[in-house]
Amino acid sequence: MQKIYFVRAEWDEEAKVWVATSDDVPGLVTEAETMEILSSKLEIMIPELLAENGFPDKNEISYEVLARKFSVTHATPIN
């Protein structure tokens, strides 16, 4: 069975960017303003970082992004 690499993405409210890191992909730290841009960056960075760290060369690399964003909202009173 093929290994699935896990990537964490957390919203940095102060910087207004998604920050991605991974224990499975050594050296992975990147940020982007949207999840779409972040995904595009990960498509390039994950294979490059795995190759640099001596992981086996494979045609396909499976990874999962787990995203988390904490928000606060206020309820509108219903009259």
Segments in the chain forming alpha helices (H): 35-52
**For 40-44, what is the mean pLDDT?**
97
Q: What are the sequence ranges of the domains in the chain?
A: 4-68
57-66: pLDDT as tens digits: 778 999 999 9
pTM of the shown model: 0.84
Q: What is the pLDDT of residue 59?
A: 83
1-26: pLDDT as tens digits: 788 999 999 999 999 999 999 999 99
- Of 55 and 56, the one with more pLDDT: 55
The mean pLDDT value of the chain amounts to 93
The verdict on domain 4-68 having CATH code 3.30.2390.10 is yes
